[in-house]
Amino acid sequence: MIVKETKLKGCFVLEPKVFNDERGYFMESFNKEQFNSAIGSNIEFVQDNQSLSAKGVVRALHYQVGEFAQAKLVRVLKGSVLDVVVDLRPNSPTFGEHLTMELSEVNRKQLFIPKGFAHGFLAVEDNTVFAYKCDQYYNKEAERGIIYDDPNLRIDWEFPKDQLILSEKDKELPLFKNLSL
């Protein structure tokens, strides 16, 4: 596994070693010991989630607060996404900055998102299957979000805005400046 820290401290891109042959491929998608050693932390994942999205679906920008804040390891099993993270850690030198990257079944990259980040993605292919591990259980009362098109964040979703598909809940999320940590 190749692990590289992104411009946002504590946020890592992971690229598994893939073994291809005439049968297809094999890869180890997660190894707790190697993972924790590579990121320099001890993460205990307790919940796995998976979603199926049509092309143009935006699921963003979500986070949990307090004792329910979540670190996540995300990847795409089928299709492709534009993955987006925003640093919400007030004492971080990259507070308010974001990172976008493609995650796909082809590049097989994974992204580790530490606690204190908002996360979202845009499905750029139909039938995209997105999977993520979380180190805390979901808690509805701790759930928060930021509107995907916040003018201060200036996230380029690289997709026509009139073709985006959002849940009603995600359409009503607050602005970054009204952040609730």
Q: What does the pLDDT look like over 100-145, one tens digit per residue? A: 999 999 999 999 999 999 999 999 999 999 999 999 999 999 999 9
**Complete domains list, the chain, with CATH:** 43-178 (2.60.120.10)
Q: What's the one-letter identity of residue 43? A: I
Closest to 181 (Cα-Cα) out of 60, 63, 59, 9: 63
pLDDT value of residue 179? 85
Identify the active-site residue in 62, 98, 119, 137.
62
**DSSP track, 75-86:** EEEESEEEEEEE
Quick check: 176 pLDDT over 80?
yes
Q: Which two tokens stand for residue 88?
A: 């919400």
pLDDT value of residue 132? 96
pLDDT value of residue 45? 97
Determine phi and psi for 93, rounding to 5 degrees: -65, -15
Please indicate whether residue 62 is annotated as part of the active site: yes
Instruction: Please count the other Cβ atoms lying within 10 Å of the Cβ belonging to residue 158.
Output: 10
Closest to 52 (Cα-Cα) out of 82, 84, 79: 79
SS3 120: strand
Q: What does the pLDDT look like over 40-88, one tens digit per residue? A: 999 999 999 999 999 999 999 999 999 999 999 999 999 999 999 999 9
Which region, left, alpha or beta, applies to residue 149 given φ > 0 means left and ψ of -120 to 50 means alpha?
Answer: alpha
In order of 9, 11, 63, 99, the CA distances from 180 in angstroms are 21, 21, 10, 20
pLDDT value of residue 177? 93
- In the chain, which ranges are E strands? 2-5, 12-15, 18-21, 24-27, 47-53, 58-64, 72-78, 80-87, 98-104, 110-113, 117-123, 128-134, 143-145
Please indicate whether residue 132 is annotated as part of the active site: yes
Identify the active-site residue in 63, 119, 132, 148.
132
Closest to 145 (Cα-Cα) out of 167, 164, 125: 167
